[in-house]
Structure 1
Amino acid sequence: MSDTHQHSIVFVRETMLPEQDPPVTERGIVKWMRQNLFSSIPNGILTLAALVAIYVLLANFLPWFLNGIWDAPSIRACREILDGGVGGCFAVLTERWNQLLFGFQYPDTEYWRPTLAFVLLFVAIAPVMFYKLFPKPMLFFTGLYPFLAYWLIWGGSIWSPIFALLGFVAGYVVWTRLVSKSFAAGFFGAIVAAFVVWTVGGYIVPALTPEETALVAVPSRDMGGFMLNMILGTVCVALSLPFGIALALGRQSDMPIIKWICVIFIEFIRGVPLITLLFVANVVLAYFLPPGTTFDLILRVIIMITMFASAYIAEVIRGGLAALPRGQYEAADSLGLDYPQAMRLIILPQALKISIPGIVNVAVGLFKDTTLVSVISMFDLVGMIRGPILASTEWNGVYWELLGFAAFLFFVVCYGISQYSQWLERQLQTDHR
């Protein structure tokens, strides 16, 4: 054995060295900046360019916002107060907030009604959106809400929404009785029962209009402002989802007639701009009605926007159905499930989970597209800005403040929808990645 190995000494430390802090570059904000902002020379250049752009934007925006005038009767008064300085004329928002939110013809004394309907909307959708947090009996209020909201916003006799509700109740009762025999019998029986109740109600309601059960009636032509955008967005999104599911299933049906009806409908609607459908709802649709027939404009617009959104949602859901492996359909067959049971219990829950991002994308786009109704002389939020407000001599020339307010309202709603969809995806995640 060599001398080196004979005289080697083995040392084993019996005590731990005192802990030392990691280097400054490997902890805290410095580490985060190195990893996310300055991980490479190109990333560092982009970070500096972004900081410069943010500085330029804030340097121009903050003085304009912080020096803004919130109390003035007109744009001329704002300019006199600013006296050549930089600042926004936000007084138009404080002076015309009611028109921006409710339109210029909705009665001032009735603002509480759409406000209450808006608050109750969150109560109604809470048990649907957060089904694990709220008891199931709250779903009864969810079913009642559309009829209550209609009565609050449009007013009139309370018996009209009551008979509308009774029609759906009668249709549901007939459905539960006949669906066990045949799906078609239950479906058409429910439709017939609902129409019978609604027809009877049409003759009874005029005789049941005591003053104590009626609110001041507000015609649809008096609806406007952001309230109109919320009505169109909420109703059309809620209606387009079930219609989109039905169209997606119909397009995959083995029955040729149903399949081709759905295919033609989807391809035609997707090939036509929404603004064209709105013009059809406003002008052309009246030519197909009997002479002297009045068809509510908001209802016509809701029908057209719902048709438009349903076609796009149908394609999104069809993509979710196509993404499912064939084994899921075979598993449903092996369990002895019929077509409605297989779709309700196995296929659609998975397809809808896959389709959540696409459905939310359509919903957000649909809500923003409600501003297109301004081109058919409906005074929604954008229509109010472009029409009565900017056309007035007091506020002619105030653009950034009004359009910025409109952008802020739409951003809040669309961002909330997006965040909820991401939360729902995390709740439905089952692969534990």
Structure 2
Amino acid sequence: MILQGQEWLDAAATRRVMAALEAAGGPDCARFVGGCVRNALIGQPVDDVDIATTLTPGQTDQAIRAAGLKAVPTGLAHGTVTAIADHRPFEITTLRRDVSTDGRNATVAFTDDWAEDAGRRDFRLNALYADAKGRILDPTGEGVADALAGRIVFVGDPGTRIREDYLRILRFFRFFAWYGRGEPDAAGLAACAALAPGMGRLSAERVSKELIKLLAAPDPGPAMAAMDAAGVLGRILPEGALSPAFAGIVRLSDDPVLRLMILTPADATVTAEVSRRLRLPNHTRDRLAAAAVAGDEVDLSMTGPQVRAAVYRHGGRAVADALLRRCAERPDEASAAHRLRETAERWEPPRLPVGGRDLARLGVPPGPETGRLLKAFEAGWIADDFPEEGHAARLEALVRDGRG
């Protein structure tokens, strides 16, 4: 089988990188590997082009530089050099075999055996190679069939592959979400369930990154249901639950952060604990926290002024996120939620139109009274839906009433 009509395969940058490697190691020293081959085969977009080679990392580096290209030693301990051609990166990794693994990290040795390299990969559809002309090589004998049929099957024994790196449990469900069809592979699913306790060895950052990738799939529902049934979801999100609202949020949004939000209770304390344990990026942590706090005063019966008041206090994104959660929980009120979300997303909160100087001109000295009067003004201004005029008269009345 030959890949045809692939822009990335025929691009001048790709040809330059492959020519540089072949000049150093011969015509069979380098092959495309993994995702680019898999996605090209099944008609999916190709974002990254990875290359496997029999050259050592040092030889790869020299070959790339000799061709006038930039070489970046991005992972020499694991055999990876990144070539830059026409501003496009190509990860080039020497063929490897595992010397030892602890379920989290592996010590590798370099090899020139393509079958040995394929044997240490996770799934058969990822153990696909293609030469410079696009001819596919399938060392496991099942990778092409798996890719075309939507089967996510471990290379060799599933338990062995998982014990090499327990993150492969999450990868099993992530690849099923993106590329799987039908039911998950029974042997792989059973191994994931049996070995799920080993995920405790993984760093939180690796787990959360894999979870977010899974949730970004067009429809992660079947994969999440399989994860839940296997006891894997409960290990990474013990506070969470897979409710009907998850299917609702999947229909409403492809945002993985919103999908993560719907898996956990709308409780700021719980959200903070999830973010801490998974070591979520700060922007994700803050977004989840803001939506949880805003959720206390957000519902689908809100009026426009109430939405604007909530946006003023919590920010437009937090209110829109909380509204989307309510909509996922009550899909029969989607039209009302849509109007409210439009207000939350488009309305720009004004700045408080008065300050301490305005009170000073009215004879109020700086101090606690200034703060009290400003808070009282702000509360009335919000309650009246942020009027643009009449601020001086309102402030004067507050000062007068305070003195009376």
Q: What range is the shorter-chain TM-score in?
A: under 0.3
Bigger proportion of residues as strand: 2
Give the TM-score normalised by the residue count of structure 1: 0.18
Report which of the two structures shows the higher radius of gyration computed on alpha carbons: 1
Bigger proportion of residues as helix: 1
Larger relative CO (CA 8 A, sep 6+): 1 or 2? Answer: 1
